[in-house]
Every structure is written in structure tokens, then in C-alpha cells.
């Protein structure tokens, strides 16, 4: 059965957290009082997918899309009008500042490049909008702190795209671990691998007529346009991106932190570098191993190989939780396996086969069904019928681990941190990477 058929019949009702709206008749959700009007910023890749999924959900309507590149705009419009989508054609507004002047929408989806995530979300909360911001919620730790402050000051709901927080089987798995299924937990190990190719040496060329390069840069200090930045390879440049740690590590680190019930670390150690293809413009690590230590005798390790696809535990991504009586394994999807101390499988919960999941897909590792659950949780929270599963303070705490990993990597040494807030102790050089400079007039303010 296709996802939209589940929506029509209500067959998904009762499957877990984040699905409360499916317990209500679709007609009721389509009532004007229940409609949530949306705008989507960044519709080339992940935002295109989010728009496509949201447009199919009961009681949701996309009124605006915001992008600065004509090709992305065309893709976004086609996605929203695709099979199962909406009839209304969204209005296109390229400048986020002008979009946020509009009073006729409720929430903004932010899926532009990383350097835009926190600044756009902060502006949106100040404009009275709720926000769904893709991971990472910030380009640096200071921005994440500002975003949490902005959500509180303006009393807006801000959900981060940590989709696994809404997946029913993983939610069940956390409860089982907290209830002692594998005894006291003390260590978690996660990984992500891919087969990314070199990005070459960028050439300075004229900005394409289809792109507003000034708006694309937005809050980031201005740089010349190069032919290997837009659309994707900005991920690997510190000026705009955050590397694989924030790009994909956010998900596994969030889950491991969730299962171990820890917040900020006391010590962070990162090792790695640009090893696979060292003679190109890629600045962030393509090979990285990070260790985090926490109060209470708990630790987390995360390994990434962006350019070598050899899988661990039979999957390109996943995590393992270790306890005194056994372990819990996850291989990227909404499934898990519990084994005892001798390696015997005690319990295995498999993901429902929705036929559209690829755990290392760069647009949607989860697939439509599971992404829809997390988006639905956001919409239902706006309606007052649910609570956010990945509220921004939770998202920021997990993203902070990624930022600390990158800072440790860049300064080449161990970081000692305040476990109450993650701040770096007694290292002025590392502390300089806590924030960034901004283009004049674009500084995020709360």
C-alpha cells in the first residue's frame, strides 16, 4: 500500500509518537482551522524533497517557495505539483527578507545551505513563524545558541530535521534500553560511509545568470564565485559548510546521545583529514574518527569515510549501543536488534517495507514514509495536538557534538568542555571557532 493510501485510510494511526493526527478523520484535518500554510526555503535538493512530502499531507499547503537559483525553483514547483501533490501553485519569492514580510503563512521550512540555517530560522521566529530547520541547525555553536534563544524569546515552535526522533521502532527501542533491556549502557559506536568523488579545483568564472550569488551567500562574508561550489560541494568548504560530521554524523550522534541519555561532553578528540583525494578544494575531513566522553562514565565514538564505501555491520550507516548485559544494533533504518552478552539475538524488530529507503542517499536516506512522520509531528505540534519530537534545544545539543568534533579536528588537539553547556575550556584558539564573522548587515540577532 502506498503512503498516500495510508493517509486516506488512517491505517498508520497508533504506530507511535508523531502520528496523532492520523487518529482524526481526514475531513477534520482539512478544515480551515486545521490548515497549516507553509513556505519552503531552498528547494534544489533536500528542501525539494521536504516540499514534495509536505504537499501530500492532509491539512498542509505550501504557499511560497524561496530560492535564489532558477533551476531549483523549477524543480520545486514541479515537485509540489507532482502526483499526490497540491493544486495551488506556490508564489516564488527569492529574498527571504521579503518572504518573511508576508503575514499569510504559518511556518517556514529551512533547507538552504548550512550557513543559512540558523540566520534564516532566527529571522523567521522574529517574524512570528514556526520553523522546521534541516540539520545541522547551525553553521557554528554560537548560532545554535542564538537559535534556541530566539525560539524562546518569540515563543515559536522550532523543529530540527532529526527524523529518527519520530520513528516508531527507534522510539520503542529507546524505551526498552531505558528499561534495562541490555543493562546499564556506557558506550555507543556509530558510523557513516559513502563514495563521494573529488570536487576538483574551482575556476573563477562569471556568476550564471540563473543564480543570485549575493543572496546565495547571504550572511556569509563575500567570496568570488567558483564553478565547483553550487549546488552541493559547499558542504566541504568551512566558509559555508560543516563537513560530514554535521552533514550526516548529526543523525547517528543524535541517536547515540538519545540512547545513552547524555547531553554535552567533557572531552572531545578528533583524528582524520582530507586523505582520499588531497589535491582538490575539499577542506573538511573525508576520513574522521571522533571520541566523546561524558559525565557518568559514558562515551561515544563516531567514524566517517566520505570517500570509501566499505560498510560496517552490513550497512553504510548505523550505530551500536553497548550495555553490561548485551548490545543494540541499528543499521540506519527504523529497525533494531538486541543481542545478549554471548551474541545471541534476543529480539529483532524490522522496519516495515516501504520500498523507498537508501540509508546513504544524499536527498532522503529515510524515504517518504518515515520523513512524513517527522513532518507530521511538526504540523500537529503547530495545531496544538502533539509535542515536538526534535525541539530545537535537543537538536542544538546534538549538533554541538558535531561542531566540537570539527573544532577539535581543526585545532589538532583534545578539547575539554563544560558539561553544562559544551563550551570549550582553557583553549583560546579553539574558542575562536565558536562563532564566525558575517557580511555586514546580515549578523543574526536575538
Q: Whole domain around residue 196: which residue ranges?
A: 168-204+207-215+231-364+394-434
3-state secondary structure (DSSP) of residue 335:
coil
pLDDT reading at 13 higher than 50: no
Average pLDDT over residues 340-358: 83
Query: Residues 100, 179: one domain?
Result: no
How confident is residue 29, by pLDDT bands cut at 50, 70 and 90? low
Q: Note the pLDDT of residue 5.
A: 44
Average pLDDT over residues 70-94: 94
- What is the percentage of the chain residues whose pLDDT exceeds 70? 89
Residue 444, in any domain of the structure: no
Average pLDDT over residues 111-127: 98
Torsion of CA 169, 171, 172, 174, to 10 degrees: 120
Query: Residues 197, 271: one domain?
Result: yes
Residue 335, in any domain of the structure: yes
- What is the distance between the alpha carbons of residues 301 and 333, in angstroms, rounded to a whole number? 19
The answer to whether 288 and 322 have CB atoms below 8 angstroms apart is no
pTM of the model as a whole:
0.92
Query: Residues 353, 339: one domain?
Result: yes
pLDDT reading at 1 higher than 50: no
Q: Note the pLDDT of residue 32.
A: 60
Residue 221, in any domain of the structure: no
pLDDT reading at 68 higher than 90: yes
Query: Residues 43, 103: one domain?
Result: yes
Query: Residues 136, 199: one domain?
Result: no
Query: Residues 99, 15: one domain?
Result: yes
The answer to whether 52 and 46 have CB atoms below 8 angstroms apart is no
- What is the percentage of the chain residues whose pLDDT exceeds 90? 87
Q: Note the pLDDT of residue 116.
A: 98
pLDDT: is 389 or 5 the higher one? 389
Inter-CA distances, 289 with 3, 138, 265, 402, 416, Å: 37, 21, 16, 12, 17
Please compute Rg for the chain using Cα positions. 21
How confident is residue 30, by pLDDT bands cut at 50, 70 and 90? low
Q: Note the pLDDT of residue 85.
A: 87
How confident is residue 362, by pLDDT bands cut at 50, 70 and 90? low
Q: Note the pLDDT of residue 338.
A: 98
Query: Residues 152, 180: one domain?
Result: no
pLDDT: is 361 or 83 the higher one? 83
**If you write DSSP's letter for every residue of 367-402 in order, what string do you get?**
-HHHHHHHHHHHHHHHTTSS--SSBHHHHHHHHHHH
Average pLDDT over residues 271-291: 97
Q: How many domains does the chain have?
A: 2
Query: Residues 150, 194: one domain?
Result: no
pLDDT reading at 14 higher than 50: no
Q: Note the pLDDT of residue 231.
A: 93
User: Looking at residue 65, which CATH number applies to its domain?
Assistant: 3.40.50.720
Average pLDDT over residues 62-89: 94
Residue 38, in any domain of the structure: yes
Amino acid at each position: 500500500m502506498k503512503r498516500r493510501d495510508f493517509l486516506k485510510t488512517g491505517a498508520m494511526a497508533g504506530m507511535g509518537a508523531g502520528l496523532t493526527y492520523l487518529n482524526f478523520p481526514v475531513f477534520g484535518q482539512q478544515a480551515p482551522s486545521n490548515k497549516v500554510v507553509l513556505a519552503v526555503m531552498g528547494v534544489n535538493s533536500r528542501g525539494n524533497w521536504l516540499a514534495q512530502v509536505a504537499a501530500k499531507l492532509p491539512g498542509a499547503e505550501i504557499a511560497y517557495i524561496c530560492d535564489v537559483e532558477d533551476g531549483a525553483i523549477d524543480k520545486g514547483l514541479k515537485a509540489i505539483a507532482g502526483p499526490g501533490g497540491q493544486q495551488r501553485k506556490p508564489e516564488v519569492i527569492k529574498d527571504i527578507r521579503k518572504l518573511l514580510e508576508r503575514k499569510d503563512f504559518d511556518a517556514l521550512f529551512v533547507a538552504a545551505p548550512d550557513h543559512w540555517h540558523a540566520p534564516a530560522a532566527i529571522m523567521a521566529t522574529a517574524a512570528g513563524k514556526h520553523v522546521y530547520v534541516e540539520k545541522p541547525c547551525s553553521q557554528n555553536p554560537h548560532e545554535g545558541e542564538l537559535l534556541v534563544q530566539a525560539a524562546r524569546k518569540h515563543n515559536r515552535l522550532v523543529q530540527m530535521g532529526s527524523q529518527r526522533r519520530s520513528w516508531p521502532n527507534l522510539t520503542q527501542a529507546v524505551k526498552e534500553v531505558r528499561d534495562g533491556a541490555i543493562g546499564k549502557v556506557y558506550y555507543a559506536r556509530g558510523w557513516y560511509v559513502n563514495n563521494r568523488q573529488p570536487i576538483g579545483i574551482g575556476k573563477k568564472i562569471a556568476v550564471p545568470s540563473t543564480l543570485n550569488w549575493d543572496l546565495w551567500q547571504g550572511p556569509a562574508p563575500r567570496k568570488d564565485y567558483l564553478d565547483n561550489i553550487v549546488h552541493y560541494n559547499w558542504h566541504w568548504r568551512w566558509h559555508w559548510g560543516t563537513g560530514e560530521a554535521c552533514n550526516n554524523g548529526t543523525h547517528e550522534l543524535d541517536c547515540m546521545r538519545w540512547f545513552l541519555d547524555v547531553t554535552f561532553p567533557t572531552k572531545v578528540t578528533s583524528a582524520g583529514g582530507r586523505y582520499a583525494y588531497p589535491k582538490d578544494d575539499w577542506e573538511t575531513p573525508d576520513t574522521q574518527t571522533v571520541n566523546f566522553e561524558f559525565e557518568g562514565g559514558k562515551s561515544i565514538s563516531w567514524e566517517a569515510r566520505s570517500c570509501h564505501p566499505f560498510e560496517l555491520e552490513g550497512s553504510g550507516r548505523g550505530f551500536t549501543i553497548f550495555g553490561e548485559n548485551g548490545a543494540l544494533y541499528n543499521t540506519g533504518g527504523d529497525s533494531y536488534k538486541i543481542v545478549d552478552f554471548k551474541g545471541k539475538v534476543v529480539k529483532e524488530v524490522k522496519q516495515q517495507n516501504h520500498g523507498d529507503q537508501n540509508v546513504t542517499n544524499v536527498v532522503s536516506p529515510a524515504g517518504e514514509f518515515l520523513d512524513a512522520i517527522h513532518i507530521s509531528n511538526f504540523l500537529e505540534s503547530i495545531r496544538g495536538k502533539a509535542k515536538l519530537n526534535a525541539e530545537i534545544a535537543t537538536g542544538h545539543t546534538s549538533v554541538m557534538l558535531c561542531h566540537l568534533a570539527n573544532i577539535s579536528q581543526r585545532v589538532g588537539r583534545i578539547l575539554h568542555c563544560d558539561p553544562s553547556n559544551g563550551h570549550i575550556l582553557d583553549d583560546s584558539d579553539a574558542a575562536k571557532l565558536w562563532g564566525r564573522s558575517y557580511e555586514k548587515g546580515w549578523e543574526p540577532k536575538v
